[in-house]
Chain A
Amino acid sequence: MKTIYKIFIAGIVLLFSGALIVSCSSTKDKYTAVTDVEEEFKIEKSGAQMWGEACNRCHLAPSPADYNDTDWETISLHMRIRANLTEKEITKIEAFLKSAN
């Protein structure tokens, strides 16, 4: 009876942790094919680093907390065009600004 009890507990724990791991690790990205470009991305810089570099070129870089997500969208489009940034740069920087505000 004791072993059955142990198995039962272990099973519950496994089930829980398994469910936890699976649900936490299942991001949408996993379901899209990983292309070569995306492989490269992994060793590339983060949006935060790009923000520190690109947004200081003309003026001092604003901090993510200065604007809300909606304003960051407008500003990102404005800066993308005014500063002639590449699509990759602005996409990553915008994502960083919106995640860190």
Chain B
Amino acid sequence: MKKLIILILIFGVGHTVYGQTYNNFDTDSTTTTEPFNPSKTQFMIRGYGHTGLNTMSNDDETESSYVGSAFAPIFLFKHSDKLLFEAELEFVLEGNELEVGLEYADVMYVLNKNMTVRAGKFLLPFGTFMERLHPAWINRLPTTPLGYGHDGIAPSSGIGVELRGAFDLGGPSLNYAVYSTNGPRLKDGSEEPEEAGMLMFQNFEDNNNSKAFGGRIGLLPFADSSTEIGFSTYSTSKVGNRDSEYENVGAFLYALDFSFVKQIPALGGFVDIKGQYNNSDIDDATFIEIHEEDGEEEEEEYTFGNNSNSFYAQLSYRPTMAESDFMKKLEFVGRYSNFNAPEGAEWEEQSEQYAFGLNYWLTWRSVIKIAYQTTDSVGGHDGGGITNGFYIHWAIGF
């Protein structure tokens, strides 16, 4: 009997020991329980859309319109663990027409743990607003701050190549991006005299051989990633057309950005502060103004110090730790922004804007925004004055 038990024990223990010793774990992984191996090649269609009602009024009129109806599909094509292609189309209804735009289309490849290369048309890391915060489901207000978008001084995208990456500094971290693009073009006033001296950032085919260079460096000084400060530049020695008198006009742009996002228990929720300052300095050039005097056209030359800047700061608060489910989904937002276009230019302008909003987050990427905005400007497109706007928008990412 004893012998039998010892035999069973030896057999039992031996079996386990054998199993443990010679187990090469090949069959140990979870993949064996899955019906198939996932493909490395993956394709996703996603994007975002928004729509809403805008009511704007100034001294003499009030306009109200359902607007937006923007739809931006995004295509993500993952070729391997290192190679990704992204493209965004944008469909917008504007002025009774459908505008289609290619927001970006670029290919990216992870070279090593600290460096990725991108090429194509990509959103420029000039500050953070255009690259990271402008999509309607991310932007906390239905409008963009002054200085961005149409006639803005901050570039949004470019065609070229870029290297970017991040370094872990054992708690703090540092990220960088350096790029070269076709660069901006100067509007010399031959087509739109009232815009002479502005930069046009869409430059699909370079108008001169001088490339633009830019970069951003971002520092997250704390281990909780709550805070980031960034510095960006974008410059080129030539913005004018080849062989024109403007060819050698150069431009230097820089931006400072700040971000702080943290859940603060003492305040019962998330505090989110964002800000960016943009400065654009273009070499002085002489432009031509055409007057009409006594039925005759007269040309007059003029010049101005071509320096513009804009700034915004936004504070938002979500009471995520509130008792009520309804309160948890609310967000309160306030934003200040200003814009200064050069004195002496046809597009001279000084504007200041305040915007206040109340948001209701249906999900993490779907939000109803109600906002009030007041803009006080001197000069500019509409000749200045005070414009008030009331907005109700619904934005959704998918």
Contact = CB atoms under 8 A, between A and B. Distances in A.
A54 to B, nearest CB: 5
Contacts of B381: none
B78 A28 contact: no
B125 to A, nearest CB: 8
B38 A86 contact: no
B5 A11 contact: yes
Contact of A59 (B28, B44, B114, B364): B364
A11 B9 contact: yes
Contact of B364 (A8, A22, A61): A61
B270 A56 contact: yes
A61 B363 CA distance: 10
Interface string A57-80: 111111100100111011101101
Given A58-B132, A84-B164, A84-B165, A77 B9 contact: no
Nearest to B80: A77
A84 B177 contact: yes
B224 A74 contact: no
A15 B12 contact: yes
Interface residues of A, number: 45
B76 interface: yes
Interface stretch (B145-153, B167-175, B190-198, B296-304): B167-175
Interface string A7-40: 1100110010011001100101001000000000
A53 B224 contact: yes
A85 B201 CA distance: 27
Given A15-B12, A58-B138, A78-B76, A7 B5 contact: yes
A22 B245 CA distance: 81
A42 interface: no
Interface in B218-255: 218, 224-226, 228
A85 B168 CA distance: 9
B225 A59 contact: no
A72 to B, nearest CB: 10
B175 A26 contact: no
Nearest to A61: B364
B166 interface: yes
B266 interface: no
Contacts of A43: none
B332 to A, nearest CB: 15
B38 A70 contact: yes
Contacts of A86: 166-168, 173, 175
B133 A53 contact: no
A59 B270 CA distance: 12
Interface of B: 1-2, 5, 8-9, 12-13, 16, 20, 23, 25, 28, 38-39, 42, 44, 76, 78, 81-82, 84, 86, 108, 110, 113-114, 116, 118, 125, 131-133, 137-138, 164-168, 173, 175-177, 218, 224-226, 228, 259, 261, 263, 270, 361, 364-365, 397
